[in-house]
């Protein structure tokens, strides 16, 4: 069953919510194994379901809230999102809704991992990451690399 | 009597809307619909090259970008007097319909019917049935809608290269022809959705369903077979009427429709005179008279909006959008107040069906008026009509394999002048008004369907449609006003709906 998908979420116009798209830009500069594909899901909401299909592993990258100190890079499993009422980021319906929707569809479910950074502020219409979130970019890239080499 | 304020946030992908309601006891006595996000698309377009609108305006909305694109291209074609071949009109129509079908199915079964599973109804006879069908991610209809609604916009990706935010309509046509592969793939997507719709949503064939023409026909049909009453539309109707949605949420009686889908057989007639597949018009709710639609009768007021004030209303060609945020005044929104013939109007599938003369919707309207149940019912009725029209359109495309998809305009640039593009998006009447001076856009005014429906008060103090649809409503529990949720959702505004009370700061959620 398919390869591995790295799917980045967020809105780069809204401060730290642009973390996912920022990681996407970095990932595009790097060389990847032939079975790994990188996607920028932006604020696609339910339309991002497509990116979860046809792969054996999906690594989702997004801004996180209430998972640690600002700038902390976290590896989260979908079950840890259940029963967390917080919206993870300022766009659309959020990852928990998307994952819930995906689970209820027929078809094979890939292993899903969520890589994120605890953000400082998703400031509306203020492009650019805060210093702590920016500093988390190299750690996040390393983490994604190590997940893919497993 | 104790008076308190409830604030309801309607967080959409496109921009935020809030409702502020004043309750006296359990009754809504005042309502303010607040557009809380200033976006500035109209200003972004000023000074740009005319065709930039084809790339920028589809970004106005993640749900109706195709409609925005169509409005933008029609305005440019009007200014440049640019003809469009029938094949291009068919491709445009097909994509517009696909977008509307997705939006209507999601609005109905991912958001509207989920409210029937609210714990408030746990003692009602329908509760377990409602949960089995409509509970988010568990109910059969919710899951079916999730699965089947997502593929239909692939038709737009086939013809337009991507969805959402596509830019495949250009002055003179569309970017790619309808080759047989696209037509076959589209038919296969359409067939799959139609099968699910027939089986699970209407419990019968499209033709049988569309043959129902009167309220009596419909109620007899509903009672005739288990397959009908157990279908999604059967359950929606029985439950919706059981909780009285057919007696709530009327709003303004005046209805407006710009008409939907240019008639490809009338391609030679330039817009706005070109005929539509579904008629345009104005239904005067006071007299019941159906009148021709005249775009010159549209004005926008800013008396209660955060824009630099001007007196009365202005037609979009004289429109002005200069932000002037005054949070501590009696102004309360970033939305303007559009009016037609100086009247508060509503638009959307109910208005479209009544003005087009759809017999079943008319008959139900004559019986019970434009209530919350009928507004939602009209949306699903439209899905059936669109599925049928999409099939016809694909067959017509297949029958004209060599029809050109583009007639390149004689002039490379759009000349100076003014024009407008009026279309029907999923939520109703959408218009773009454009003026071009010295080769650049000098004015761009957009009136979205939600601007009509979510209008604030105008310079005469008259409330907008959504606002007025809630006045006088009595809720059982002001801490959990699910009735308000039903009415607001019937207007199709939102994805997420949370409520918090200003007086205590306590935050509540309109379930789920």
Do residue B495 and residue A49 have CB atoms under 8 angstroms apart?
A: no
Q: Which residue of B has its CA nearest to A101?
A: B137
Band (pLDDT 50/70/90 cuts) for residue B509 is: very low
8 A C-beta contact, residue B390 and residue B92: no
Q: Does A104 touch chain B (CB under 8 A)?
A: yes
Rounded Cα distance, A129 and A71, in Å:
11
A84, A63, A60, A86: which is closest to A73 by C-alpha?
A: A63
Helices (H), B197-274: 206-210, 215-224, 226-229, 232-242
Q: Which residue of A has its CA nearest to B136?
A: A101
Q: Binning pLDDT at 50, 70 and 90, where does residue B10 land? A: low
Considering only CB atoms, B13 lies closest to which of A45, A103, A124, namely A45
Angle of helix B349-356 versus helix B372-399 axis, rounded to 10? 70
Residue for token digits 């004043």? B22
pLDDT in tens, B453-471: 989 999 999 999 999 999 9
Q: How many CB atoms sit inside 10 A of residue B362's CB?
A: 17
Of A43, A49, A103, the CB nearest to B62: A43
In chain B, % of residues over pLDDT 90 = 78
Q: Are B28 and B467 in contact (CB under 8 A)?
A: no
Q: Quote the pLDDT of residue B14.
A: 41
Of B137, B150, B496, the CB nearest to A49: B150
B37/A124 Cβ within 8 A = yes
Count of the separate structural domains present in chain B? 1
pLDDT for B158: 96
Of the pLDDT bands very low, low, confident and very high (cuts 50, 70, 90), residue B13 is very low
Higher-pLDDT residue of A117 and B7 is A117
Q: Is the peptide bond prior to B445 cis by the omega test (within 30 degrees of 0)?
A: no
Nearest to B272 by CA among B480, B487, B79, B427: B79
For chain A, the straight-line distance linking the first and the last C-alpha, in angstroms and rounded, comes to: 17
- Secondary-structure breakdown of chain A: helix, strand, coil percentages, each rounded to the nearest 5: 35, 25, 40
pLDDT tens across B325-384, in order? 988 899 998 889 999 999 999 999 999 999 999 999 999 999 999 999 999 999 999 999
* pLDDT given at position B259: 97
**ipTM value for the complex:** 0.75
Nearest chain B residue to A125, by CA: B39
pTM of the entire predicted model? 0.90
Confidence at residue A93, expressed as pLDDT on a 0 to 100 scale: 59
Residue B511 binned pLDDT confidence (cut-offs 50, 70, 90): very low
- Total Cβ atoms within 10 A of residue B241: 17
If one looks up domain A3-149 in CATH, what number appears?
3.40.50.1450
Question: Nearest residue of B to residue A11 by CA position?
Answer: B13
Buried-state track B457-474, b at ≥16 Cβ within 10 A, e below 16: bbbeebbbbbbbbbeebe
Question: Could you give the dihedral angle defined by the CA atoms of residues B473, B477, B483 and B485, in that order, rounded to the nearest 10 degrees?
Answer: 120
- Residue B15: per-residue pLDDT: 46
Which parts of chain A sit beneath pLDDT 70?
A: 1, 82-93
Q: Does the distance separating the beta carbons of A124 and B147 come in below 8 Å?
A: no
pLDDT at B102 over 50: yes
| Structure-model confidence comparison of residues B19 and B174, the more confident one | B174
Do B432 and B71 contact (CB within 8 A), yes or no? yes
Q: Across the A/B interface, how many CB contacts are shorter than 8 Å?
A: 35
In DSSP terms, A42 is beta-bridged to A9
User: What is the residue-averaged pLDDT of chain B?
Assistant: 91
pLDDT at A87: 44
DSSP codes of every residue in B95-129 = HHHHHHHHHHHHIIIIIIGGGGG-GGGTTSTTHHH
Q: In the predicted model, is pLDDT for residue B503 greater than 50?
A: no
Q: Is the dihedral of CA A140, A146, A147, A149 positive or negative?
A: positive
Mutate to test the interface with B, among A9, A39, A47, A126 (most CBs of B within 10 A): A47
Query: Dihedrals φ, ψ of B433, to 5°?
Result: -120, 125
| Residues sharing a CB contact under 8 Å with residue B319, sequence separation 6 or more, in sequence order | B300, B433, B443, B445
- Note whether A93 contacts B496, CB cutoff 8 Å: yes
* Cβ separation B147–A105 shorter than 8 A: yes
Q: Which two tokens stand for residue A31?
A: 């060389």
Give CA–CA dist B467/B487, Å, rounded. Answer: 11
Average pLDDT over residues B31-58: 89
At B495, the pLDDT band (50, 70, 90 cuts) reads very low
pLDDT in tens, B272-320: 899 999 999 999 999 999 999 999 999 999 999 999 999 999 999 999 9
Return the pLDDT at B36.
74
Distance from CA of A106 to the nearest CA of B (A): 8
The minimal CB distance from A101 to the residues B137, B153, B495 is found for B137
User: With b meaning 16 or more CB within 10 Å and e meaning fewer, what string describes A4-13?
Assistant: bbbbbbbbbb
Give the CATH number, domain containing residue B488: 1.10.645.10
- Residue of chain B whose Cα is closest to the Cα of A124: B37
CB contact under 8 A, A106 and B147: yes
- Residue in A85, A75, A94, A82 with CA at minimum distance from that of residue A143: A75
Non-local CB neighbours of B420 within 8 Å, separated by 6+ positions: B74, B75, B78, B272, B295, B316, B431, B432, B433, B434
The domain in which residue B190 lies consists of 3-509
Which residues of chain B have a Cβ shorter than 8 Å from any chain A Cβ? Answer: 13, 37, 62, 106, 136-138, 142-143, 146-147, 150, 153, 163-164, 495-496
The distance from CA A89 to its chain's CA centroid, rounded to whole angstroms, is: 10
- Domain ranges within chain A, ordered by starting residue: 3-149
**Closest Cα in chain A to B62:** A44
> CB distance B13–A105 less than 8 Å?
no
Q: What is the pLDDT of residue B497?
A: 34
Specify the pLDDT at position A85: 52
In angstroms, the CA B304 to CA B321 distance is 13
Residue A124, pLDDT score = 73
Contact A104 B146 (CB under 8 A): yes
Total Cβ atoms within 10 A of residue A79:
9
Tokens of A77: 């499993």
Which residues does B282 contact at the CB level (< 8 Å), separation at least 6? B254, B255, B256, B257, B290, B291, B292, B293, B297, B340, B341, B345, B355
Quote the CA–CA distance of B156 and B134 in Å, as a whole number. Answer: 28
State the Cα–Cα distance between residues B327 and B337, nearest whole angstrom: 18
Q: What is the pLDDT of residue B16?
A: 65
Is the predicted pLDDT of residue B501 greater than 50, yes or no?
no
**What is the mean predicted confidence (pLDDT) over B24-53?**
89
């Amino acid at each position: 069953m398919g390869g591995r998908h790295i799917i980045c979420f967020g809105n780069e116009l809204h401060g730290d919510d642009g973390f996912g798209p920022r990681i996407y830009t970095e990932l595009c500069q790097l060389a990847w194994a032939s079975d790994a594909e990188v996607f920028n899901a932006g604020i696609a909401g339910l339309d991002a379901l497509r990116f979860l299909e046809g792969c054996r592993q999906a690594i989702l990258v997004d801004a996180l809230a209430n998972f640690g100190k600002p700038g902390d890079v976290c590896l989260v499993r979908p079950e840890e999102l259940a029963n967390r009422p917080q919206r993870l980021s300022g766009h659309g319906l959020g990852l928990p809704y998307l994952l819930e929707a995906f689970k209820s569809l027929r078809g094979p479910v890939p292993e899903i991992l969520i890589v994120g950074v605890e953000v400082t502020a998703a400031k509306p219409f203020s492009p650019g990451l805060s210093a702590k979130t920016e500093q988390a970019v190299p750690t996040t890239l390393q983490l994604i690399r190590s997940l893919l080499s497993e | 009597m104790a008076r308190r304020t409830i604030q309801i946030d309607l967080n959409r992908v496109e921009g935020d809307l809030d409702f502020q309601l004043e309750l006296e006891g359990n009754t809504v006595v005042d309502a303010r619909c607040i557009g809380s996000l200033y976006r500035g698309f109209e200003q972004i377009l000023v000074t740009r090259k005319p065709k930039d609108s084809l790339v920028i305006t589809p970004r106005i909305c993640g749900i109706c970008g195709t409609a925005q694109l169509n409005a933008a291209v029609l305005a440019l074609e009007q200014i440049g007097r640019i003809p469009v071949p029938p094949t291009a009109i068919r491709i445009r129509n097909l994509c517009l319909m696909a977008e509307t079908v997705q939006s209507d199915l999601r609005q109905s079964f991912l958001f509207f019917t989920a409210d029937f599973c609210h714990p408030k109804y746990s003692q009602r006879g329908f509760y377990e049935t409602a949960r089995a069908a409509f509970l988010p991610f568990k109910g059969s209809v919710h899951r079916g809608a999730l699965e089947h609604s997502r593929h239909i916009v692939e038709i737009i990706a086939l013809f337009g290269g991507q969805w959402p935010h596509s830019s495949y309509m250009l002055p003179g046509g569309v970017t790619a022809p309808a080759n047989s592969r696209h037509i076959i793939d589209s038919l296969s997507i359409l067939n799959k959705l139609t099968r699910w719709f027939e089986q699970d949503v209407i419990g019968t064939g499209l033709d049988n369903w569309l043959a129902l023409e009167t309220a009596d026909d419909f109620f007899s049909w509903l009672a005739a077979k288990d397959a009908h009453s157990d279908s999604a539309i059967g359950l929606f109707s029985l439950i919706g009427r059981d909780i009285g949605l057919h007696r709530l949420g009327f709003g303004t009686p005046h209805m407006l429709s710009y008409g939907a889908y240019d008639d490809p057989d009338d391609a030679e007639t330039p817009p706005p005179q070109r005929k539509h597949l579904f008629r345009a018009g104005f239904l005067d709710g006071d007299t019941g008279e159906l009148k021709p639609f005249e775009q010159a009768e549209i004005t926008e007021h800013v008396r209660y909006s955060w824009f630099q004030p001007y007196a009365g209303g202005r037609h979009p060609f004289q429109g002005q959008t200069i932000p002037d945020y005054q949070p501590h005044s009696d102004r309360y929104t970033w939305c303007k107040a559009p009016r037609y013939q100086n009247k508060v109007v509503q638009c959307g599938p109910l208005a479209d069906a009544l003005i087009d003369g759809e017999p079943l919707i008319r008959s139900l309207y004559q019986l019970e008026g434009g209530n919350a149940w009928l507004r939602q019912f009209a949306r699903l009725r439209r899905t059936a009509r669109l599925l049928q029209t999409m099939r016809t359109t694909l067959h017509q495309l297949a029958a004209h394999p060599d029809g050109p998809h583009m007639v390149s305009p004689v002039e490379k640039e759009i000349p100076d002048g003014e024009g407008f593009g009026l279309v029907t998006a999923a939520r109703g009447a959408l218009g773009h008004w454009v003026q071009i001076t010295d080769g650049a856009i000098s004015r761009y005014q957009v009136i979205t369907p939600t601007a009509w429906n979510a209008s604030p008060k105008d310079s005469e103090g008259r409330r907008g449609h959504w606002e007025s649809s809630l006045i006088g409503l009595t809720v059982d529990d002001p801490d959990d006003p699910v009735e308000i949720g039903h009415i607001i959702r019937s207007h199709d505004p939102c994805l997420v709906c949370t409520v918090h009370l200003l007086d205590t700061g306590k935050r509540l959620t309109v379930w789920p």
